[in-house]
Amino acid sequence: MKIAFIGDIVGKPGRLMVKRYLPKLRDRYKIDLVIANYENASHGFGLTKKNADELLGYGIDLLSGGNHSFDKKEIVSLFESYPIIRPLNYPDAAPGKGVYRSEIAGVPFALINLLGHFAMPPVDNPFVKVRDAVKQLRCEGVRHIVIDMHAEASAEKQALLHLLKSDVSGIMGTHTHVPTDDLSIVEGCCYVTDVGLTGCRDGIIGMKSKEPLDRFLTGIGAHYDIPDKCKTVFRAVVFELDAQGYCIDAQRVTIYDRDHEYVVPAWIE
């Protein structure tokens, strides 16, 4: 089973990069499943139905969220009929679900979305919730399990690796929008602290630089906005799982707006 995971898609520039490069990526690597993080896809905050249809039409199969999952209230109606999930450790009363189960070429598969604690909205303990969810999935015979860990703190993502590295197929870090160089395969688990954004690369975390700079200089917040024109990047992690759900190969694929492509293989422990 070959999976491609795209990190935070930020606004229209990110969506257009998915449109341009995902079909080529799917064809070249013979990908069976594409997962992407949607929480910044609609002008930087949340996801609309229009943009959900757009991204799914470009070849994305599953969409996972984060702390901006509920910024666009129309997403609530999408949870019932679209392959879209929100973090598992939101309170149980919240709309949507945190685990998506399906079959890929006849093989049971599960995607789990998780939200960290540091600098995030109040949520349930991510480590306890995901430990119990993974245990239940494995008891039911699911061995191909991927987690989107949406967290600010690198330590939380690394802690999750040490908690579950023998029990899940992959842990993909999202949220910071800044890619890390630690793509690795640890005891059969594909891990990266942060995949990085797909979208504008010459501002601040995919946004115009003025508002973040004003906030840092004055302490006064302002609404972040997506540039009308910018230099862009497409980022994905492509990894292969064997019949038992262990990762046997992985690479980071980075494509800049002038078709400059860089592929870096994972370090295998």
68 catalytic residue (yes or no): yes
Q: pLDDT band at residue 16, thresholds of 50, 70 and 90?
A: very high
Spell out a b/e string for 95-122, using b for 16 or more CB atoms within 10 Å of the CB, else e: ebbbbbeeeeeeebbbbbbbbbbeebee
CATH for 259: 3.60.21.10
Structural domain harbouring 129: 2-268
Q: Per residue in 33-85, pLDDT tens? A: 999 999 999 999 999 999 999 999 999 999 999 999 999 999 999 999 999 99
**What is the C-alpha separation between 142 and 170, in angstroms, rounded?**
13
Q: Quick one: pLDDT at residue 258? A: 84
Residue among 43, 68, 117, 144 flagged as catalytic: 68
Instruction: Enter the pTM of the model.
Output: 0.97
Please count the structural domains in the chain. Answer: 1
Q: Per residue in 191-232, pLDDT tens? A: 999 999 999 999 999 999 999 999 999 999 888 999 989 999
Q: Quick one: pLDDT at residue 211? A: 93
Chain mean pLDDT for the chain = 97
Q: Per residue in 157-186, pLDDT tens? A: 999 999 999 999 999 999 999 999 999 999
For strands 267-268 and 184-186, give the pairing.
parallel
Q: What percent of the chain has pLDDT over 70?
A: 100
Query: In the predicted model, what is the mean pLDDT of residues 19-32?
Result: 97
Q: pLDDT band at residue 96, thresholds of 50, 70 and 90?
A: very high
**What is the C-alpha separation between 68 and 137, in angstroms, rounded?**
27
